[in-house]
Amino acid sequence: MTIVAAVDDEGSTGVVRRGYELAQAFGEELVVLHVMPETESVAAAEEVAAEAIRLALDDPENVTAVGALGDPAPRILHEADERDANYIVLGPRKQTPIGMALMGSVSQLVMLNTDCTVAFVTDD
């Protein structure tokens, strides 16, 4: 089982740190995931995840950087499902109530469509 920490490209050190704390507490692997549009490369997405790890953790053990392409919410859910994740850690973006009602958000879609626990980290 794993902990999946989904990071964006706007500083996700808090998400990685919280994911690492959970992984260490439960003796599980931490997978740091970054999803980019399909016009990009998996290698570029993986590099963003790796950079988030480097910025957040000094000497991480049992941490993997993963890149994926596509729509973020389904890709996060897929990764969590494939790895039998116990937790998904996210840093939700702030939206207005109207914006959330019209378009939804990645955090909202993930939370409503997973069976595992979702942890939200609001501060880096």
Average pLDDT per consecutive 10 residues, the chain (124 residues; last block may be shorter): 90 92 96 96 97 94 96 96 96 62 71 93 71
Provide the pLDDT for residue 91.
86
Provide the pLDDT for residue 105.
84
d(CA 31, CA 25): 15
Q: Does the predicted TM-score (pTM) go above 0.85?
A: yes
Backbone angles phi, psi at 10, to 5 degrees: -115, 45
Q: Which residues fall within 8 angstroms of residue 90, CB to CB, at 6 or more apart?
A: 5, 6, 15, 76, 106, 107, 110, 118, 119, 120, 121
Q: What's the whole-number average pLDDT of the chain?
A: 89
The CATH number for 2-120, chosen from 3.30.1280.10, 3.40.50.620, 3.40.50.300, 1.20.1440.130, is: 3.40.50.620
> Half-sphere exposure of 20 toward its Cβ, with a 13 Å CA cutoff?
21
